Amino acid sequence: MDNDGSYKRIFSEPKMVEDLLTGFIRQDWVTDLDFSTLERVKSDHISDNWDRRFNDTVWKVRLRDSWIYVCIMLEFQSRPEKFMPVRIMTYLGLLYEDIVRNGEVLQTGKLPPVLPVVLYNGKPRWRYSRELFDLIEHISDDLHTYMPKLSFVLIDEGEIENEGRISPAMRESQNLVAALFALENAVEKRAILTVVEEMLRWLQLPEQQSLSRALAGWFDRVLRPAKKDVGELPAFADLTEVSTMLRETVQGWYEEAERKGTAAGMEKGLREGMEKGMEKGMEKGMEKGMEKGMEKGMEKVARTMKENGEPIEKICQYTGLSKESVEQL
């Protein structure tokens, strides 16, 4: 399963880097970034000996009159890495060497600031310190003066409380990275397909066709194998293909709910009729059961559509329920 390559492909898109910074780095300087200047930095040549235990993408972007570098490191270990700050320090040292070698220091003669961001999607929560200084034994205050100090931004996807759904705030911001994390935390097919449909609305096509294909590739290679317990998910090469599929799938859910409601009503009616031991009672019970089953089935359909944000008028059209009945659900 090409986890690393699929994630790296996604964060090779400027829109995803912008949404990552604006949505998850809540610091004042982010508002001053000029995202029109986002430029991918080739990082594969930093060191031939670099142990690529995680993939990375490096970007630079203008912050007022200077540049800032952003290193996005994708961590796919099953457990948190206690000595991640050591790996970050090594990587940043190699990056700075590369900047000096290529004559890319700032006009002030100083090195540009670098923001290291680690995306972690393992199941155990990250409890280790992100400070390199905390990993070094304290022997004396004088000696500690020379110890390196370095930290990194950690985005632990499992701690993002979105329950696999699109929140009102997420819908307002249309943050694609937040939607990506919602997909990873989704536990049922309905939630997954709803998030994908929402992402499709946010994408500015055809300008973002490349990003659409990257997200579809990630969905097919990473998400589908990871969500086998929610039932078979469709494969598609581009997010635009999912629109028709979504309508057909959701319609199928509504029809299935209606069938289940009808079947339950018939079963109840037969049982009540048999208990009475009279043909008239059986017919009456069947009629009553079917009627109540249909009613319950339509209420279940309406409740499902309402939870998914469907308009009241559309719910009434699908179920035949009155506007007042739908609003009271």
Residue 254 pLDDT greater than 80, yes or no: no
230 and 177 in a common domain? yes
Grouping H, G, I as helix, E, B as strand and the rest as coil, residue 87 is: helix
Domain final position from 183, 207, 237: 237
Q: Name the token pair of 6.
A: 């699929």
Contact of 3 with 58, CB cutoff 8 Å: no
Dist. CA 114–CA 92, nearest whole Å = 8
Average pLDDT score over the chain: 80
pLDDT in the model for residue 112: 94
- In the three-class reduction of DSSP (H, G, I as helix; E, B as strand; rest coil), residue 128 is classed as coil
The helix (run of H) or strand (run of E) holding residue 56 is: strand 55-63
Residues 116 and 25 in one domain: yes
Report the candidate in 228, 248, 224, 252 with the shortest Cα–Cα distance to residue 237.
224
- d(CA 161, CA 99) in angstroms, rounded, equals 38
Instruction: Give me the residues paired with residue 69 across strands.
Output: 60, 114
On whether both 54 and 179 belong to a single domain, the answer is no
Same domain? 255 vs 203 = no
Res. 53: pLDDT tops 50:
no
Alpha-carbon distance values, 312 to 101, 166, 188, 193, 320 (Å): 63, 19, 24, 21, 11
Mean pLDDT of 184-197: 81
Q: How do residues 78-104 score in pLDDT, each as one tens digit?
A: 689 999 999 999 889 989 998 999 899
How high is the pLDDT of residue 266?
59
Burial category of 288 from C-beta neighbours within 10 Å (exposed 0-12, middle 13-18, buried 19 and up): middle
Q: What is the pLDDT of residue 147?
A: 92
Task: Identify whether the C-beta of residue 70 lies closer than 8 Å to the C-beta of residue 21.
Answer: yes
Percentage of the chain modeled with pLDDT above 90: 30
Question: Please, are residues 160 and 181 in contact by the beta-carbon 8 Å criterion?
Answer: yes
Q: Which residue has the tokens 């990473």?
A: 222
Same domain as 175, residue 274: no
State mean pLDDT over 297-316: 75
**Span 129-176, pLDDT tens digits:** 999 999 999 999 899 889 999 999 999 988 876 666 788 888 889 999
Q: pTM of this prediction?
A: 0.70
- Whole-number Å distance between alpha carbons of 26 and 260: 47
Domain that holds residue 75: 1-159
- Mean pLDDT is highest, among 106-110, 158-162, 229-233, for 106-110
Q: Where are the alpha helices (DSSP H) in 102-235?
A: 141-144, 168-173, 176-185, 189-202, 209-218, 224-226
Q: Are 285 and 177 within one domain?
A: no
**Residue in 153, 37, 141 with CA at minimum distance from that of residue 92:** 153
Q: What is the pLDDT of residue 282?
A: 47
pLDDT score of 123: 82
Mean pLDDT lowest among 1-15, 37-51, 78-92, 108-122: 37-51
Do 94 and 209 fall within a single domain?
Answer: no
Reading the block at residue 277, the tokens are: 């031991």
The reported pLDDT for the residue numbered 14 is 95
pLDDT class of 277 with cuts at 50, 70, 90 = low
Question: Are 33 and 136 in a shared domain?
Answer: yes
| Number of independent structural domains in the chain | 3
Where would I find the beta strands (DSSP E) of 145-274? 153-156
Q: Which of 170, 71, 59, 158 is nearest to 117 (CA)?
A: 71
Question: For the residues 189-211, what does the mean pLDDT come to?
Answer: 84
